[in-house]
Structure 1
Amino acid sequence: MATMDAVSGLRSFSFDTELNEEEKKLLFLRARSAGLTFCGCAHAVYLCSLVHSLRRIIKSHTVNTGKDGDLCVGILGMGHMGKQLLLSILGMTGIKPSHIKVSTRTPQSAVESVHSEVECFCDNRRLAAWADILFLCCLPSDLPKVSADLHSHLEKHCLVYSFTSAVPVTRLARLLGHSFILKPQYDFVPSESADVWLSCSHVTTALTDPLLIEASSPLEMTGAISLGLNWVCGVLYSLLNICTSASLGSSDALSLINSLFKEKSTHAVQLTAESFICSSYASSLLREEPFPWISLSDAQTKETPLLCFLSSNKSMQHCISAAYKSLLETPVKYK
């Protein structure tokens, strides 16, 4: 027999009944917090799915080196964001739990919320040396110690993805001595549309909601939250760097990256060498020659050929948005 909420619909029992007018003005913070957590997890899942797919395609197109092609994901910090991120990656990607590791100051207390196959320890340097993608979910106050731990221990190919607020990507690059860093920069403008995020009490459940997926689409965001083109540029340059680290020629790199998007949209748009680098360099780049390594800290803070291309190409924006929605609406789950 179904249970009934005895106070459902009774306004006098809602938590905000006793708030004064000044306090009610702060209610938007609930929606802001829920929305930023949801979008952060959704966009991280999107990135992991793209990188995981690309690495598998690269492995199938290159000589077997004996290395495992699966993506290795590290999460540094197991506070609210770290826990939600872990659950999202486990539930929404095809990444094996054994390919996810967590470093936290209190691994004993975090074990209960971690999948049995996810290794949890307290060793930031060990995590940095192992991970292909390293998510920073630490507080700004912890960043000096974390930076000291990670400095000189990050492999060049390791993509650092920072959720640490109030620390710009340029400063983080200096602290870590590392330029392969991606940091989403969200803007929030309080409005009634932000209420859409109030249903995100459980992020993993919310990630299956088509309306919330639509609202979080990076280039078409609604719900009072926005994310600039620079983040999308950073994602695409990350994919390019992964191809470069695998010594793929520019022609093969473009073909593989385009393959991640071409089946997700009816818009037939192709990324070319000129989309990523200046036309003079692109014209001299041989098909079998890899692209140059791109500094993501520069790519997110300066005007790049890719930013100019995306800004003026609505078809490519639609293509990227379609890929985002498709990946989240039909996630590949680990079996």
Structure 2
Amino acid sequence: MLKDKDNSNGHMDISDSLPSLQFETALTAEQSLLLPLRSRAHCSTTGCLVSACYLVSVMNATRKEVFVAKNKTRAAQRIMQMGIDGDPAKIGIIGCGRLGRQLIKVLKTYSNVSNELIYVSTRRPESLSDFANAGMNVDFNNVWVASKCDVIFICCLPAVVNQICAEIKNHLTPDKLIYSFVAGYTAKKMANIMNFTNIIKPDFNWTDLSSKLPWSVAVLPSDCLGKKQLVEKFCPLFELTQPIVDDESEERLPVLPVFLDMHWLMRVVYACVNYATSQQVMSDVAVDIANKVFFQSVKMETTMKEILLEEHFHLPPESVATQLFETTESDHSTYLEQTNISMHQSTPAEAYFPYWDLTSVGSKVQLADVLKGSKSLRRAFIKRFSASFDKVIQF
């Protein structure tokens, strides 16, 4: 059993000194070989919850900045100065089993999501009476959640994902974001099913070295988020602070049994840019917002402005889901096309970003290279990542 002094997530296992109560006692030698999978699954679930909290944090920060940028009033400026969320996202959760319940817990605790902004669709809404009594919106209606919410987490079983996608696909607009935890379904596959590309799915990697790292499974994954030193290790850039152990492969000393990859991080950045674009925010303002949201500053030695403004020349064409301002003669124009037409009437097309296909945005982008190559930017990014959990984390 993993010793408490070695547990990377800092929790005590009360069965540590009681061999007869330990999980491994009843296992055969052959079954014991599979034990690392238990730690891997637990660490992956913890990573899913960390990634969800961070996403909601930066998305709400983006929405607040967009709200102020579009409302140049004293009231809007006062909201910014007081630290109040100007336009907080409504959070939808489709499927509320073991993962969904933990997701609600961490979003309320670490992302400061109020009860009235949480919408849950589950096959057994009566089992969530405690959530409903607390003021959350609970029902068995996937279309209702998709229509009402800005960020939609899909936590269902693979067996029902096609049915759910068919139900909600006609209720998704470009200002919405799908965040999938469905096993066996890549973001690209779900995008093809729903004909919707603003989708993120957290991807995890592991190596022979990382799989040997200690990890306690003695507590729920949601309880692991209370350790700041653990949480920041889930930031993909944190690994780059570790020494290289293999010069040929450039493999670095791992910090966790499993870890989020750079693809996920880049997609989170571009999801925020997509939202700003969908709200008719021009590209120069959008990158200032992104720079402030992800680095907590608009005065860095290297800003995101030049990087993002040139990025669409470096990303492959398939990364652009819809080019802005393309007019259409069809009577069945999409929401984004209609928005593009109205924007085009007053502003030149080059003033806005295209709408990025998040499923095609990976780690091979200029922004990723800049972050990897700059220690100061990495430190700022990791600091902002960790700060997402500062409001309630106990040190």
Aligned to 1:144, the other structure's residue is in SS state helix
For normalisation by structure 1, the TM-score amounts to 0.85
Following TM superposition, by how much is the alpha carbon of 1:73 offset from its aligned partner in structure 2, in angstroms?
0.7
Partner residue in 1 for 2:35: 27
Following TM superposition, by how much is the alpha carbon of 1:57 offset from its aligned partner in structure 2, in angstroms?
2.0
CA contact (8 A) 1:133 1:159 kept: yes
Partner residue in 2 for 1:39: 47
CA contact (8 A) 1:197 1:223 kept: no
Larger radius of gyration between Structure 1 and Structure 2? 2
Partner residue in 2 for 1:134: 152
* Distance in 2, Cα, partners of 1:209 & 1:6: 19
Following TM superposition, by how much is the alpha carbon of 1:33 offset from its aligned partner in structure 2, in angstroms?
1.8
Partner residue in 1 for 2:203: 185
Aligned to 2:166, the other structure's residue is in SS state helix
Structure 1, unpaired ranges of 5+: none
- The letter of the residue matching 2:267 is G
* Distance in 2, Cα, partners of 1:84 & 1:202: 8
2:176 aligned with 1:168, yes or no? no
Pick the aligned partner of 1:57 from 65, 70, 80. Answer: 65
Aligned to 2:88, the other structure's residue is in SS state coil
* Distance in 1, Cα, partners of 2:118 & 2:14: 43
2:214 aligned with 1:195, yes or no? yes
CA contact (8 A) 1:262 1:268 kept: no
Following TM superposition, by how much is the alpha carbon of 1:275 offset from its aligned partner in structure 2, in angstroms?
3.3
Which shows bigger deviation, 175-184 or 253-262? 253-262
Aligned to 1:167, the other structure's residue is in SS state coil
Pick the aligned partner of 1:111 from 113, 120, 129. Answer: 129
Following TM superposition, by how much is the alpha carbon of 1:88 offset from its aligned partner in structure 2, in angstroms?
0.6
Partner residue in 2 for 1:230: 263
- The letter of the residue matching 2:37 is L
Following TM superposition, by how much is the alpha carbon of 1:113 offset from its aligned partner in structure 2, in angstroms?
5.3
Partner residue in 1 for 2:294: 261
* Distance in 2, Cα, partners of 1:150 & 1:315: 42
Matches within 5 A, 1:314-333: 314-331=375-392
CA contact (8 A) 1:31 1:194 kept: no
* Distance in 1, Cα, partners of 2:358 & 2:159: 24
Following TM superposition, by how much is the alpha carbon of 1:55 offset from its aligned partner in structure 2, in angstroms?
0.9
* Distance in 1, Cα, partners of 2:388 & 2:134: 26
2:238 aligned with 1:220, yes or no? yes
* Distance in 2, Cα, partners of 1:152 & 1:249: 27
* Distance in 1, Cα, partners of 2:89 & 2:168: 20
Following TM superposition, by how much is the alpha carbon of 1:159 offset from its aligned partner in structure 2, in angstroms?
0.4
CA contact (8 A) 2:294 2:384 kept: yes
